[in-house]
């Protein structure tokens, strides 16, 4: 029996980790907020039931507004509708903005643009801990200036 319980727990943990790895950040944030809110309420209930009602009331009073503000944030936990992501569009960047993104003066040569792009992508690439949004902006700036 203990073996079956352990195997079931391991399978449940592996399934939870698989879902966690595919989840969006907003979903994880919403889940964390709900876990904190429910955990806080359970803790306050346990404190109240064990004769520490004053501590329970103080905890609810102190943490209540914080949890309430988290729950009332617009779009908390809601996935963004399609087409509203922060990925830049192909035609949305001016040449001046592209120079600014790459940190170049207007009129920079093709070689300077490529060198600036390479330097910035080395730090901003998502595979190296950078963000998709910033990497796409850098790529868009390069494409705008070279294309």
Q: What is the pLDDT of residue 67?
A: 67
Other Cβ atoms closer than 10 A to 58: 13
Number of independent structural domains in the chain: 2
The backbone torsions φ and ψ at residue 5, rounded to the nearest 5 degrees and listed phi first, read -65, -40
Going by the DSSP 8-state scheme, the letter that residue 126 receives in this structure is: G
Give me the percent of the chain exceeding a pLDDT of 90.
24
Q: Which domain holds residue 34?
A: 22-78
pLDDT class of 77 with cuts at 50, 70, 90: very low
- The domain that holds 120 is classified in CATH as 1.10.287.110
Q: What is the pLDDT of residue 80?
A: 47
Residue 140 falls within a domain, yes or no? yes
Same-domain status, 119 and 73: no
Residue 15 falls within a domain, yes or no? no
Residue 134 falls within a domain, yes or no? yes
Integer Cα distance of 125 and 118 in angstroms: 10
Task: State how far the alpha carbon of 35 is from the alpha carbons of 38, 39, 60, in Å.
Answer: 5, 6, 15
**Whether pLDDT at 112 is above 90:** yes
Same-domain status, 70 and 118: no
Residue 93: both structure tokens together: 């960047």
For the segment 68-76, the average pLDDT, to the nearest whole number, is 63
**Whether pLDDT at 15 is above 70:** yes
pTM score: 0.40
Residue 52 falls within a domain, yes or no? yes
Same-domain status, 59 and 100: no
Same-domain status, 100 and 74: no
Best CA proximity match to 113, nearest among 134, 140, 74: 140
Same-domain status, 74 and 110: no
**Whether pLDDT at 85 is above 70:** no
| Domain finish residue from 30, 46, 78 | 78
């Amino acid at each position: 029996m203990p073996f079956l319980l352990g195997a079931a727990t391991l399978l449940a943990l592996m399934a939870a980790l698989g879902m966690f790895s595919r989840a969006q950040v907003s979903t994880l944030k919403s889940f964390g907020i709900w876990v904190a809110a429910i955990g806080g309420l359970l803790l306050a209930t346990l404190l109240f039931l064990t004769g520490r009602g004053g501590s329970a009331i103080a905890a609810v009073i102190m943490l209540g507004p914080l949890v309430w503000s988290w729950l009332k944030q617009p779009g908390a936990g809601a996935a963004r509708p399609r087409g509203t992501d922060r990925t830049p569009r192909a035609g949305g960047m001016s040449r001046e903005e592209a120079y600014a993104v790459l940190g170049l003066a207007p009129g920079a040569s093709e070689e300077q643009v490529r060198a600036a792009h390479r330097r910035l992508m080395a730090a901003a690439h998502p595979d190296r801990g950078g963000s998709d949004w910033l990497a796409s902006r850098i790529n868009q700036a390069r494409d705008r200036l070279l294309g």
